[in-house]
Each structure stands twice: as C-alpha cells, then as structure tokens.
Amino acid sequence: MLKTIRFKSEYRDHIQILLIILFVAILLNCWRRGEEEEVVARVDNSVLTHKNMKSRMSWEGLREDQESEFVEKWVDRELLYREAKRLGLDKAEELQWELELVEKEYVIQKLLERIYAKKIQITEEEILSYYEQNQDLFRVDEEEVKILHLLTKEREEAREALKEIQAGKDFSDVAREHSIGLFHDQGGQMGYIKREDVIPEIGRIAFYLTPGSVSSIIKSNHGYHIIKVIKKRSKGEIKDLSEVRDEILQRLRVIKERSAYYDLLFQLQNEAKVFVAIPPKEETIESDSLSNRITQEYNKENTKE
C-alpha cells in the first residue's frame, strides 16, 4: 500500500515537472511568434512585421544597423504606391507587360543558374591548356616592374625604416609597421606597375634599380618613400599563369555558359512547336528558321570551345 502511494506521489511530481516544461516551451514559442509578428511599421492597412523586415533586409543584403533606413524607405514606398493606385496607374497595360517581363527574366535567370551549376566545371587542366594555347592574350604590352613600397610622413621615420631593412628585416614587415601608404596592409606589395602608374619620382628609380635592390629615401609631395624592386619584365614577355588564372577562369566560364545556353535552346526548340511571324512581311517563318539560327550559334560556340 505504501509503495502504491509513493509511486502515485512520484508520478504526480513527474507530471507537474512535464507540465511546467511544456508551459515554458509554449511561452517561449509565443514570445518568438510575437516577435516575428510584431508590427514595426504601418501605412493604413499595410503592415510591415518584424519577420518580414528581417527577411527582406537579408534578401537585399542590408546590415542590422540599417533597420531604420529600411523602414523609412518602406513607408515612403507604400505612400507613393497608394497614391499611384489612387490615380489608377496600376491598371495600365504597360504595367502588366513589365510585370510579365520581370517574372520571365527572373525565372529564366534561376533556370540558367541551375543549369550552369549542374553542367559547368572547369579543371586545372583546362586552365593550363587555355593558357598555353592563347599566350598572345597574356603578353606584356610595355615594360613593367614589380615593387614593394613604403611611405612615411617624416624623414626620420623613413630613416629608421631603411635602417631596419638594411639590417636584414623583411621589407614587408617594415612596411606594415611604418608605412602610411595605401598598400601598408599588404606589406607594401603594389604588384606590377608601368611608368605612368606612379609618380615620376618613384617611376624613375623603380625602372632604374635591378631586381632585389632597395632604394634610398625618395622625397615627394606625398612624403618620404622607400621601394624595393622584386622583378622586371619587358614588352612581349608572357605573364605568369598565376597572374592570369582568374582571367582565364572567367573566359572559360563565359564560353561554357554560352555553350550550355545554346545547348538548352537547341533542345527546347526541338521539343516545342515554334511559329514566328515577322511583320510587315506577309510570309511566315516556320520553326526551321529558328532552328537554323540556334544551330548556327550552337556550332559557333562549340567551335570556339
């Protein structure tokens, strides 16, 4: 009997704990739902909820600290939209054309993105092959020099920086510590430059020094400069693959996207019944003409590839 009573007491305790947990969960859910459904702005019967605001801001790529700006624009847009509706501008035939066009362009873009993601893959072998077969595209058109650059406001600081470099400290580390130039975060790395890319004071020294050399202090209207020449290349030399890899990747992507685009058009044209009438001529053009156009483009793109 005592065991039965004890069991019932423990059972009631468990039930009470479960009810408390369930109650707290319901409260939290209601709180979250209330936050999502919280109205942050209203224009007559049009409302902007907290959830909608967050979703739209995320879609538009806005930051959290831009909430007030977003809400202000939403209110302005609603006010203007209501006035336009009052004047009957939402009934214009051109609007329907525009909406139809926007819808079609949007879903077509999504379709192409899906097709490209599924079909387009670019390998390192393809990049290398394109580089080797199209080297004329990557020739240097005039003499260039690759330099590191350090700029200070005061001559004394430039002297201190130069002493550190001459003592064996890495130029890039010194540039990060002392330079006030645009490239100090990159250790002064400016990449390849042409004479016209820099001020004359820098250009004259950069193209005079030999690779590996560090300049003395160079004075200009901008302050005090120190440069180190890393490498030089003459007109007609081929740029390194590492420099043009991204460019090649983009070129190959364009070629493959165009090919996939015309592949898809060719397939869809063969599956559909297409009729084209071109005013003001009386004759009509059956699907053969469209087929010929697509086939020509298809062959052209695949020949390029």
Per-residue pLDDT tens over the stretch 69-125: 999 999 999 999 999 989 998 888 888 899 999 999 999 999 999 999 999 999 999
Question: What is the pLDDT confidence band of residue 293, given thresholds at 50, 70 and 90?
Answer: low
Supply the DSSP symbol for 96: H
Of 127, 125, 123, 121, residue with least CA distance to 245: 127
- As a whole number, mean pLDDT of residues 189-193 equals 93
> How wide is the angle at C-alpha 21 spanned by C-alphas 16 and 24, nearest 5°?
125
Indicate the range of 17-21, 78-82, 148-152 predicted with least confidence.
Answer: 17-21
pLDDT score recorded for residue 21: 54
H or E stretch at 294: helix 287-304
**Dihedral class, residue 56 (left if φ above 0, else alpha if ψ from -120 to 50, else beta):** alpha
Q: Report the distance separating Cα 161 and Cα 150, nearest Å.
A: 9
Q: Report the distance separating Cα 219 and Cα 205, nearest Å.
A: 12
Q: Which residues contact 14 (CB under 8 A, 6 or more apart)?
A: none
pLDDT score recorded for residue 147: 96
Question: What is the pLDDT confidence band of residue 37, given thresholds at 50, 70 and 90?
Answer: confident
Q: What is the pTM of this model?
A: 0.61
Which range scores top for mean pLDDT: 23-37, 61-75, 82-96, 143-157?
143-157
pLDDT score recorded for residue 79: 94
Buried b (16+ CB within 10 A) or exposed e, 135-174: eeebeeeeebbbbbbbbbeeeebbeebbebbeeeeebbeb
Supply the DSSP symbol for 121: -
Question: What is the pLDDT confidence band of residue 283, given thresholds at 50, 70 and 90?
Answer: very low
Mean pLDDT over all residues of the chain? Answer: 84
Please check whether residue 97 is in contact with residue 67, taking contact to mean a CB–CB distance below 8 angstroms. Answer: no
Q: Report the distance separating Cα 123 and Cα 115, nearest Å.
A: 18
Higher pLDDT, 228 or 276: 228
Q: Report the distance separating Cα 181 and Cα 149, nearest Å.
A: 8
Q: Report the distance separating Cα 125 and Cα 8, nearest Å.
A: 75
Structure tokens at 72: 């202000």
pLDDT score recorded for residue 93: 87
